[in-house]
Amino acid sequence: MNAQLDTALAETDASLDVDAEIAGSRLLPTADELRRAVPLDPALEARIHRQRDAIRDVLAGRDERLLVVIGPCSIHDRDSALDYAGRLAELNAQLGDVLLPVMRVYVEKPRTTVGWKGLAYDPHLDGSDDMAEGLYQTRRLMRDITALGLPIACELLQPMLVDYIEDLLGWAAVGARTTESQVHREMVSALGLPVGFKNATSGDIGVAVDAMGASRHGHRYPGLDAHGRPALLTSKGNPDTQLVLRGGQRGPNFDAASVERARGALLEGGLDGSIMVDCSHANSGKDPARQPAVLDDVLRQRLAGQRALTGVMLESHILSGKQKLGGELRYGVSVTDGCLGWEESAALLTRAAQQLRQGVSAGERLSACATN
């Protein structure tokens, strides 16, 4: 870890513990300290603002490209994450006319019960939970990926961690397990970036629509200021949100009827109909091999005129499948949910781009006929 940060961090004085149930306490850097240790230069900051604007344009329908949030289910090592980012940046140069790729750099994992919680929590993958190091690695990695020209996305799970990384993100998700939480809605209302709310694990989309409505409003809520002090914060409200359909306990919800129902619910809630389909999770029954079929269906709906479909999400890594933590790890294989491999992912995006180009040029031909 950064030496300057390291000396500032120590075990806190146990005699100060007011709660006997807390078995230990270690200081973390404040967001301000970490940002100073891993700074963002003004040129990169300006680039991230342009990336957010480009994503906002897609969500609002001003840009016809398809937003593609793609990458590992979770990041567990820097080398494979940078390797993946390099490949995606190269592919972006070829497909950027019709797709807007954003890399999943997911460093916090929500668990159904218990399990590894991600690089930010446990960077050594061994239960030692060296979070000061995890946050440092996270910020450095995110900065290095954005420097390749790629916008990045992650799930914002623990509101206290947002300030450590928020300035680096192009897009963020609130996950299926937290969409109904008022605390997360307040958090989103203070973010200056586009955010997708996922439907609940039950499949209920109403909570996500409510979340979008709630986070458009300004809120007053307790949190931490940039120096880590408790403060009453006042947010302005975030107008740039999107509904993410990820399927649920009753099955998938990416089909045309489900998408149209979701669009109706958004309009009824007074919201623009911007929808992303997560091709993974309950929409693929957690079988990565099913993600291409979901993507195909979404593309068919888009080409048939469903303009509310502005984005897709795919879980993809260097190599396909998944592996358990514990033994020796294979390079580039997910340690959480199963992913598509890179070769297949690249072929899939290339095919999607071709289909979208053909669709667009067919559309242009039709409008040219109409005006002649």
Ligand X SMILES: O=C[C@H](O)[C@H](O)COP(=O)(O)O
Ligand Y SMILES: C=C(OP(=O)(O)O)C(=O)O
- Note the residues at the interface with ligand Y (CB under 6 A): 73, 106, 110, 155, 175-177, 198, 246, 278, 281
Of residues 309-368, which lie at the interface with ligand X (CB under 6 A)? 336-337
Phi then psi dihedrals of residue 152, to 5 deg: -125, 155
Alpha helices, DSSP H, located in 130-279: 131-146, 162-165, 182-189, 206-216, 256-268
Measured from the CB atom, is 65 or 254 closer to ligand X?
Answer: 254
115 vs 285, beta carbon nearer ligand X:
115
Whole-number Cα distances in Å, 308 to 18, 68, 194, 359 = 51, 15, 16, 16
Nearest distance from C-beta of residue 286 to ligand X, angstroms: 7
Select from ligand X, ligand Y, none the partner in contact with residue 49, using the beta carbon and a kind-dependent cut-off of 5 to 8 Å: none
> Is the CB of residue 312 less than 8 Å from the CB of residue 68?
yes
Figure out which of the listed residues 73, 120, 161, 212 binds ligand X, where binding follows CB under 6 A: 73
Q: Does 285 bind ligand X (CB under 6 A)?
A: no
The answer to whether residues 244 and 260 touch, using CB atoms and an 8 Å cutoff, is no
CB 256 within 8 A of CB 309: no
Q: How many residues bind ligand X (CB under 6 A)?
A: 9
The pair of three-digit structure tokens given for residue 14, joined into one six-digit string:
């146990």
Among ligand X, ligand Y, none, partner that 112 touches (CB below 5 to 8 angstroms by kind): ligand X
240 binds, among ligand X, ligand Y, none (CB under 5 to 8 A by kind): none
Nearest approach, Cβ of residue 106 and ligand Y (Å): 5
What is the three-class DSSP state of 276?
Answer: strand
Alpha-helical (H) ranges within 75-231 are 78-95, 131-146, 162-165, 182-189, 206-216
> Which of 98/276 has CB closer to ligand Y?
276
Residue pair 338/93 in contact (Cβ under 8 Å)? The answer is no
Sequence-separated contacts (24+) of 93-97 with Cβ below 8 Å: 94/350, 94/353, 95/349, 95/350, 95/353, 96/65, 97/65, 97/353, 97/357
For the window 82-121, what string marks contact with ligand X as x by the rule CB under 6 A? ---------------------------xxxx--x------
The interface partner of residue 111, options being ligand X, ligand Y, none and the CB cut-off 5 to 8 Å by kind, is: ligand X
Between 35 and 109, whose beta carbon lies closer to ligand Y?
A: 109
CB nearer ligand X, residue 219 or residue 246: 246
Q: Which residues bind ligand X (CB under 6 A)?
A: 73, 109-112, 115, 281, 336-337
